[in-house]
Structure 1
Amino acid sequence: MEQLLHYIWKHRILPLHELRTTDGRAVEIIDPGLHNTHSGPDFFNAKLRIDGTMWVGNVEIHERSADWFMHSHDQDPAYNNVVLHVASVIDADVVTADGSRPPQMELHVPPYVMQNYRRLLAADHYPPCRETVMQLPRLTIHSWMSALGAERLADKCAAIEQRVRASGGSWEQAFFATIARSFGFGVNSEAFEQWAAQLPFMQVAHHRDDPFQVEALFIGSAGLLDTSQMNERQRAAATADPYFVRLRNEWEYLAHKFSLTAMQRQTWRFLRLRPQNFPYIRLSQLAQLYCSRNADLSRITTCITLAEVRQALQTAVSPYWQTHYTFGNASRSNAKHLSSASIDLLIINAVVPMLHAYGNHRKDEHLMARANDLLMSLPPEDNTHIRLWQECGITAENAADSQSLIQLHTRYCERKDCLRCRFGYHSMKRRKDT
């Protein structure tokens, strides 16, 4: 209920009758203030006219006014500048740490807002706001889509900046970790990020001219050469395979040389994966890409066109994996090139945010513009949720649009966070007669 009170205050979805304090003074909301999602009062720098006098200060909102004391606001100087306390139930007078008594006002969530909110939360179809969205002006939709796209890109850039800090300021290492995460293609993304974070990047670089040693380091550090973590069938097939034995011996030598430890094999997901997506295959492709040096950040930043970026990210597996998907089990020969769709996903999830983050770091607007151009040039991603939004009249024309819709799903719809969504806002304020 308190969240809804915040919502109607912020958006001024207020009763039609005159607002008054509990002691009868008229209240006019000039500016509801800046919504504060951290500690301190709920709204900063609100402008209110109370009984004809202009007040500028903070507003605190609770479901019940007694919550003021439950949250110890009466002992916190941060609440001394509260000029109005709002609650749906006034059941106590309030006092600040400096002894003043801010005026209080009773405010209720309009019934139609409550009904709309409950309907959105209870809806079993996706998206729950589809009727509202289908009636919205194109400009309103476009504005929210643009904001969602910027928000998603900012989230990815923030993650990259965190990787830069974790790698001691190395943008090259952070880019490799970002590429590695993208090689998980959703299912194994977390495992790839964990793997990249513990990979000894500087030591691996010394062996970059030997793809076999790099593959041994990559697969070995992933825990996929540890027979103690295999089942009996896997262990028998692997230990009878000469290539596995060579890889394991090389890994054990390098692990001892650099004091390395391996991940747990159980971190990786194989179940229900197409063989093309098995971690062995993705790690071999990544090893070949790393050894080629084509996907170094220094190389990617020189690519001007989408075709050049796509060319730089092309990779395949080492000769052994052309005829295998797992150790000891031969299959029909296949170079297992990274597909064009997979390369585009790498550009969307790794190259674009890295160019933007790196460009921002270097104050290079050309790199940031290139990132945006790539996103606009790429075809849209395709999944169930994007197709359902298309049924509502929102068609993804390019990857920038599909990224916006993915952000909408993951950050708002999936979390039922309709109170922060602009589509949710229009749904919440709808009356039955409109």
Structure 2
Amino acid sequence: MEQLLHYVWKHKLFATAPLKTTEGVDVEVIDTGLHNTNAGPDFFNAKIKLGDTLWVGNVEIHEKASQWFEHGHHLDARYNNVVLHVVGKADMDALTLDGDMPPQMELAVPNSVLTHYNELLAADKFPPCHNILHQLAPLTLHSWLAALQTERLESKTKAVIRRAELANGSWEDAFFITLARNFGFGVNGDAFERWAANVPLRCVDHHRDNVFQIEALFMGQAGLLTSESLPPRQHQMALKDEYFEQLKKEYSYLAHKFNLQPLDPAMWLFLRLRPQNFPHIRLSQLAMLYHSRTASLANIVACEGLAQLRKALFTKVSAYWQTHFVFGGGSKSSDKALSVASRDVLILNTVVPILFAYGRHRHNDILCERAFQLLEELRAENNHIVRMWQTCGLEVKNAGDTQALIQLKTEYCDRKDCLRCRIGYEYLKKG
């Protein structure tokens, strides 16, 4: 309830008159103040008129006045400048460290706001605010989606920066790890990130012109060249597979040369995975892409549009994997080239956050603007979250819109965090 009381105060969703302190002094709220999300009073620099006197200072909010002492504010000098203690129930007076008793005012959450808030929390249909979406002004929706799009991009940017820091400041490594993670296309994303972080690019660079050696190192580091990595029914076939033995021998040489340790093959997931998404296929595609040198960070940054990026990320498998999905198991011949749709997914989840993060790092606004431009150029995603919002009547034009709606669902709706949502605000104040 205290969180809702904060919300009512912040957005001034209460009757502004008559307001009085517990001592009967008239209160006029001119400015509720700046919401403080860190330690200290809840709102800074509020403007409150008590009787005929205008006060500028801090406001603290509690469900019960006694929580002032429970939270130790009477021992904290930061609360000496509280000009009004707003409470749901004034069960006792407050006292500051310097001995003053700040004026207190009881404030009730309006019945309509409380009713609407409980409706949002109790709703079992997603999104809980679905019945007012069609009533919202286009400008309200557009501005909120734009903010959510930036919020999601900022979150992805933090992940990229963290990878660069873990790679001792190497943005090339951070790009490779981000790209590899997204080659997992969801299911094996975590495994691919662990794998990429375990691939020493500086060592691989010495063998970049030899795609066989790159594939041996990539497969070997993934733990896929060991007997333990082979399912029982494929074990005998793989052991008789000449290419498997060649890769295994080559990796043994490279592992000794560079002092490498493979990962546990058990981290790779195969259950209910379509064959074209098997780690072997994706690793071969990555090896061919790395061999081509088109997907280096410098080349990606130099690309000026969607068409150039799609061309830079084009890749297929090596000759062996054109007729295999796993070692020893044959398949219909195909180059298993990465589709345009898959490349667009990589652009959305890898290139866009890399451009934005790297642009921030280099103070290059052009790269940051290009990231947003790509979000507008890329086609809208088609997944269950996007379809849910479309069912509610929201228009989806591009990947920027869908990224915003995914952010809304995962960071607000799923957490029932309606008090931070602009649509939630409209729902609470309706009527």
TM-score > 0.5 by shorter chain: yes
The 2-side partners of 1:108 and 1:99 are apart by 28
**Structure 1 residues 134-173: aligned runs within 5 Å:** 134-173=134-173
Write the mapping of 1:5-404 to structure 2, written as runs, cut at 5 A.
5-15=5-15, 17-228=17-228, 231-404=231-404
| Cα shift at 1:295 | 0.8
Q: Who is 2:419 aligned against?
A: 419
Q: Distance in 2 between matches of 1:379 and 1:245?
A: 43
Residues 26-47 of structure 1 show CA distances to partners (whole Å, capped at 9, x for unaligned) of 2222222222222222222222
- By how many angstroms is 1:231 displaced? 4.8
5+ unaligned residues in a row in structure 1: which ranges? none
Q: Could you say if the C-alpha distance between residues 194 and 105 of structure 1 is closer, same or farther in structure 2, counting changes exceeding 3 Å?
A: farther
Local SS of the residue matching 2:4: helix
Distance 1:122 1:234 in 2: 51
Change (3 A) 1:82 1:236: farther
* Counterpart residue identity of residue 425, structure 1: Y
How far is 1:95 from its partner?
A: 1.9
Q: Aligned to 1:59, what secondary structure does the other structure show? A: strand
| CA-CA distance at 1:182 after TM superposition | 1.5
CA displacement, residues 65-84 of structure 1 (integer Å, 9 cap, x when unaligned): 22222222222223222222
Residues 355-382 of structure 1: per-residue CA shift (max 9 Å, x gap): 2222222222222222222221111111
Shift of 1:230: 5.0
Amino acid at match of 1:375: L
Aligned partners of 1:245, 1:159: CA distance in 2, in Å? 38
Q: 1:56 to 1:192 in 2, by over 3 A?
A: farther
C-alpha displacement of 1:105: 1.8
C-alpha offsets along residues 295-332 of structure 1, whole Å, 9 cap, x if unaligned? 11111122122111110000111122211112221111
CA RMSD of aligned residues (A): 1.9
**1:102: how far off?**
1.8
**CA 1:415 to 1:224, structure 2 compared with 1: closer, same or farther past 3 Å?**
farther
How far the C-alpha of 1:235 sits from its partner, in A, is 3.8
The alpha-carbon distance between structure 1 residues 95 and 276, as it changes in their structure 2 partners (threshold 3 A), is same
**How far apart are 1:237 and its partner, in Å?**
4.1
1:146 CA displacement:
1.0
Contact 2:88 2:106 in 1 (8 A): yes
In 2, Cα distance between the equivalents of 1:135 and 1:372? Answer: 28
- Residue type matched to 1:141 in 2? L
Q: What is the CA distance between 1:197 and its match in structure 2?
A: 2.4
Structure 2 stretches lacking a partner, 5+ long: none
The CA distance in 2 between the partners of 1:274 and 1:246, in whole Å, is 26
Residue 139 of structure 1 deviates from its aligned partner by: 0.9
Shift of 1:17: 4.3
| Partner-residue secondary structure (3-state), 2:7 | helix
Question: What TM-score results when the alignment is normalised by the length of structure 1?
Answer: 0.93
The one-letter code matched in structure 1 to 2:259 is: S
CA distance in 1, matches of 2:104, 2:219: 64
CA pair 221-52 structure 1, distance change in 2 beyond 3 A: farther
- Per-residue CA distance 1:394-425 (angstroms, 9 max, x = gap): 21111111111111112111222111111111
In 1, distance between residues paired with 2:245 and 2:23?
Answer: 84
Deviation at 1:98, TM superposition (A): 2.8
For the Cα contact (< 8 Å) 2:180–2:196, is it kept in 1? yes
| Moved beyond 6 Å, runs of 4+ | none
The number of residues matched between the two structures is 431
Following the alignment from structure 2 to structure 1, what is the Cα–Cα distance between the partners of residues 100 and 382?
Answer: 58
Deviation per CA, 1:82-119, whole angstroms, max 9, x where unpaired? 22222212223222233332222222222222221221
Q: Give the whole-Å Cα distance in 2 for the aligned partners of 1:46 and 1:196.
A: 51
SS at match of 1:134: helix
Shift in alpha-carbon separation, 1:73–1:335, aligned structure 2, 3 A:
same
**Residue type of the partner of 1:81?**
N
Instruction: Answer whether contact 2:33 2:58 (CA < 8 A) is retained.
Output: yes
C-alpha change, 1:259 and 1:141, in structure 2 (3 Å) is: same
Give the C-alpha shift of residue 277 in structure 1: 1.2
* SS of alignment partner, residue 57 of structure 1: strand
Partner SS state of residue 190, structure 2: helix
- Change in 2 beyond 3 A, CA 1:394/1:261: same
Structure 1 residues 253 and 75, CA, compared in 2 at 3 Å: closer, same or farther? farther
Contact 2:75-2:96 at 8 Å conserved across structures: yes
1:45 match: secondary structure: strand
Question: Per the alignment, in what secondary structure is the counterpart of residue 168 of structure 2?
Answer: coil
Query: TM-score normalized by structure 2?
Result: 0.94
